[in-house]
């Protein structure tokens, strides 16, 4: 039995991962035309015919049921193998948490609603998002680097805890101000009415929020974490303040309220410390993941560019098969777009780089233009040039990320600014990407200027394009300012 459970723990995540792709919405964008044309099914005599739309609704309901069953199986299996296969049990729980956080079942219900209202185009778009989320869960279940996934999950929880704590601190500050007002009135002998008791109830509510937050940190805090203890002390002070306010004595509650806010701020400071330390630990793993992602994008783009170049002359000669071949490259290019979305989410979670997110988005904009060209069957020299530009940009980003890592022979402390301690390798990497980002925005500006000269009048579409470029230039400026704030005048000295 023990060996059987061990085998299940090793194999079942892979089985469930394959199930994730089976649990897809009832129809795809490519199927919808055929489904709409399909003849309605006939039932027994005297019963209404089942329409194609009703068939789709039935299939989508089955998909929702399958997804719910999959979530339940992941939970039960993780419980079953927790002792024999703790790593795979953790993997299953991570996948379950992600499925619920991404609201996949709710998205599937939205698809069902769109089918019921015969909004097929909208349903197809929503369906694609669901498939992408399922693919991410499959990748998580099959990931060979579980440690990074678990650390990322902890980072997300720390960030969520800090956001919740910010709200608790904000509310406590509001209550402290209100307490000061009531205390002043009490000193002057003014009537207070039920105001202290009402504030006491507010204090109890904030105390409950603090207790809930403390409870949620049990599996998140590091061994040396002090945030939980600080929250516990803050809760005690809140309880004391609530009791005194309930007695109609805001003056005596002031000290407890002040202590509560102080302990909350201490908790936040410690959570931020833990988060920053975790980011530092993740740095090498994130760098390796980013390199792998960008190399995959580059390999995919090179293959698409090669095929576009081969099909271009045939398309120019009017070969219909060649046009279809070019159109088939559109979905492949769109896969690169989706890979970039995934990478951007990782960057946003980890704050790995200041400039890489806007720089990658600049490359992504070019990818989106190429997708549109390929879907339209265009394979001219302009399309090929755009594809090759994407390749060069990806190569530059890969080179920049490589340069952010310290050389193997670099000793600890070497490569840092002696004045402010800034990592010079990371600074050079950021500047390389900043240059790329400015070049892309400049290219967009030149292209818009040329098109405006051709159009003559400043059309509404051109106004919108200029506004978009302005926003992109603002991204460059903001990134530059962030780099400036994190450096000193000695950072680039040899």
Domain locations in the chain? 2-143, 151-272, 419-494
Distance separating alpha carbons of residues 416 and 393, to the nearest angstrom? 28
- The mean of the pLDDT values for the chain is 84
**pLDDT (0 to 100) of residue 5:** 40
Distance separating alpha carbons of residues 393 and 441, to the nearest angstrom? 13
Range name among 127-131, 173-177, 266-270, 432-436 with the lowest pLDDT average? 127-131
Per-residue burial over 167-189, b if 16 or more Cβ lie within 10 Å, else e, is: ebbebbeebbebbeebbebbeee
In the 8-state DSSP scheme, what is residue 40? Answer: P
pLDDT tier at 135, thresholds 50, 70, 90: confident
**pLDDT (0 to 100) of residue 425:** 83
Residue 483 has pLDDT above 90, yes or no: no
Give me Rg for the CA atoms of the chain: 29
- Could you tell me the pTM of the whole model? 0.72
Residue 36 has pLDDT above 70, yes or no: no
Mean predicted confidence (pLDDT) in 41-52: 59
User: Tokens for 459?
Assistant: 């059309």
Residue 17 has pLDDT above 80, yes or no: no
Residue 27 has pLDDT above 60, yes or no: no
Residue 166 or 487, more confident: 166
Mean predicted confidence (pLDDT) in 100-117: 86
pLDDT tier at 23, thresholds 50, 70, 90: low
Distance separating alpha carbons of residues 9 and 2, to the nearest angstrom? 11
Q: Tokens 């939970």 sit at which residue? A: 75
Q: What angle do CA 405, 410, 415 make, to 5 degrees?
A: 70
> Using an 8 Å Cβ cutoff, are 220 and 154 in contact?
yes
**pLDDT (0 to 100) of residue 42:** 52
C-alpha distances in Å from residue 330, one per residue of 27, 43, 368: 20, 41, 10
Residue 26 has pLDDT above 60, yes or no: no
**pLDDT (0 to 100) of residue 34:** 43
- Percent of the chain exceeding pLDDT 90 equals 45
Mean predicted confidence (pLDDT) in 39-50: 54
Q: What is the largest CA-CA distance in the chain?
A: 95
Residue 182 or 86, more confident: 182
Residue 337 or 447, more confident: 337
Q: Residue 148: name the closest of 343, 289, 342, 348 by CA.
A: 289
Using one digit for the tens of pLDDT, what is the confidence trace for 440-479? 889 889 888 887 777 777 788 888 888 989 999 999 899 8
Residue 33 has pLDDT above 70, yes or no: no
CATH architecture of 151-272: Up-down Bundle (1.20)
Mean predicted confidence (pLDDT) in 430-446: 89
């Amino acid at each position: 039995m023990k060996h059987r459970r061990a085998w299940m723990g090793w194999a079942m995540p892979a089985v469930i991962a394959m199930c994730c792709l089976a649990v897809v919405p009832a129809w795809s964008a490519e199927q919808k035309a055929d489904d709409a044309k399909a003849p309605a099914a006939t039932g027994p005599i005297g019963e209404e015919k089942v329409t194609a739309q009703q068939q789709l609704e039935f299939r989508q309901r089955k998909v929702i049921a399958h997804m719910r069953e999959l979530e339940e199986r992941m939970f039960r299996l993780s419980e079953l193998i927790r002792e024999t296969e703790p790593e795979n049990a953790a993997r299953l729980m991570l996948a379950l948490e992600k499925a619920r956080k991404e609201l996949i079942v709710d998205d599937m219900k939205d698809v069902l609603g769109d089918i019921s209202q015969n909004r097929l185009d909208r349903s197809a778009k929503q369906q694609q998002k669901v498939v992408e989320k399922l693919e991410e869960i499959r990748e998580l279940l099959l990931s060979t680097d579980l440690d990074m996934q678990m650390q990322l999950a902890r980072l997300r929880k720390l960030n969520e805890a800090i956001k919740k704590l910010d709200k608790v601190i904000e509310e406590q500050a509001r209550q402290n101000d209100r307490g000061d007002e009531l205390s002043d009135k009490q000193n002057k002998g003014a009537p207070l009415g039920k105001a202290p008791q009402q504030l006491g109830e507010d204090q109890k509510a904030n105390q409950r929020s603090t207790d809930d937050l403390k409870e949620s940190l049990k599996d998140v805090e590091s061994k040396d974490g002090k945030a939980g203890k600080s929250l516990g002390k803050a809760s005690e002070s809140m309880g004391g303040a609530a009791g005194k306010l309930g007695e109609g004595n805001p003056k005596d509650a002031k000290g407890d309220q002040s202590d509560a806010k102080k302990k909350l701020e201490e908790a936040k400071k410690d959570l931020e410390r833990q988060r920053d330390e975790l980011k530092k630990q993740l740095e090498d793993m994130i760098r390796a993941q980013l390199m792998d992602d960008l190399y995959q994008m580059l390999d995919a783009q090179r293959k698409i560019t090669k095929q576009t170049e081969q099909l271009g002359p045939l398309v120019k000669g009017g070969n219909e098969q060649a046009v279809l071949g070019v159109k088939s490259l559109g979905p492949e290019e769109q896969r690169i777009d989706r890979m970039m979305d995934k990478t951007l989410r990782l960057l946003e979670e980890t704050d790995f780089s200041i400039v890489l997110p806007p720089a990658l988005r600049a490359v992504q904009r070019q990818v989106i233009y190429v997708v549109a060209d390929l879907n339209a069957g265009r394979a001219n020299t302009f399309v090929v040039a755009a594809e090759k530009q994407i390749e060069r940009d990806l190569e530059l980003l890969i080179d920049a990320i490589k340069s952010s890592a310290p050389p193997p022979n670099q000793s600890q402390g070497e490569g840092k600014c002696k004045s402010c301690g800034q990592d010079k390798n990371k600074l050079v990497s950021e500047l390389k990407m900043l240059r790329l980002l400015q070049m892309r925005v400049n290219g967009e500006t030149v292209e818009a200027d040329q098109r405006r000269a051709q159009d003559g009048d400043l059309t509404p579409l051109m106004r919108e394009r200029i506004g978009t470029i302005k926003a992109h230039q603002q991204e460059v400026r903001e990134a530059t300012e962030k780099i400036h704030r994190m450096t000193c005048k000695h950072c680039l000295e040899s």
